Amino acid sequence: MSAPSLLAAAKAQARRDLRLVWRRRGDAAQPLLFALMVVALFPLALGSDPQQLAKIAPGVLWVAVLLAGLLTLDSLYRGDLEDGSLEQMLLAPVPLAWLLAVRVAVHWATTALPLVLVAPLLAEFLFLPGELLPVLMVSLALGTPLLSLLGAVVAALTVGIRRSGMLLALLALPLFLPVLVFGAGSVMAAAQGLPWAGALLLLAAGLVLALVLAPLAAAAAIRIALT
């Protein structure tokens, strides 16, 4: 049996996932709307004192992005499990981890990347000082793929369980915490004039590690979950 090239398989997986997102584009906008809502509520609830808002802005933005990402996790494999696509992916001669890596990449690009791109607008809502914006953007650009990869492993662990939403959140949040601490922390540190590069480097190191290990762990978890 001639195994297909990894590149061709990755292209096909990416094309399939992008098509699916496009066909359900209403669902795809959900995380964006969610983050927008959360961020828009803070000035309304706290009053429009720019200084007070600017102080909490990094934390609020990061929490909004993190929770928006959590919302989308449950659907990562759910559809593929229910219609048997996951079985067929498991049986394909291409390594499952490779297909999952592409799956997660598309998931990040369609759910988290739009959030990163509108982050300047969200930051404006909260009067985040302009000079902090680059640090915020870099922290989100490093942190959101890490969240997606960690989430993909947890979602794989719970894929066999029906209505796993709450369990998923409970399992994922402890893993998300360090990302939140370093992500929001880097912007906070920059706001106080402290060195902030260290936190970003730690996020980058975590991302590199997760890029290699998370797809393998997710593939192993799915093998167990399907049993």
Which residues here bind other proteins, judged by CB under 8 A?
A: 1-4, 8-9, 11-13, 15-16, 19-20, 23-24, 79, 82-85, 87-94, 99, 223, 226-227
Dist CA 107 CA 93 (whole Å)? 23
Dist CA 183 CA 15 (whole Å)? 31
Residue nearer to other proteins on the CB measure, 137 or 225:
225
Q: How far is the CB of 135 from other proteins (least distance, A)?
A: 39
Crossing angle (nearest 10°) for helices 30-46 and 113-125: 20
Q: How far is the CB of 105 from other proteins (least distance, A)?
A: 16
Tokens describing residue 217: 């762990």
Alpha carbon of 145 to those of 39, 127, 129, 186: distances in Å?
A: 21, 26, 25, 17
Residue nearer to other proteins on the CB measure, 13 or 148:
13
Dist CA 47 CA 128 (whole Å)? 15
Tokens describing residue 202: 């730690």
Q: How far is the CB of 156 from other proteins (least distance, A)?
A: 15
Residue nearer to other proteins on the CB measure, 79 or 130:
79
Residue nearer to other proteins on the CB measure, 119 or 156:
156
The helix/strand/coil state of 92 is: coil
Q: How far is the CB of 72 from other proteins (least distance, A)?
A: 17
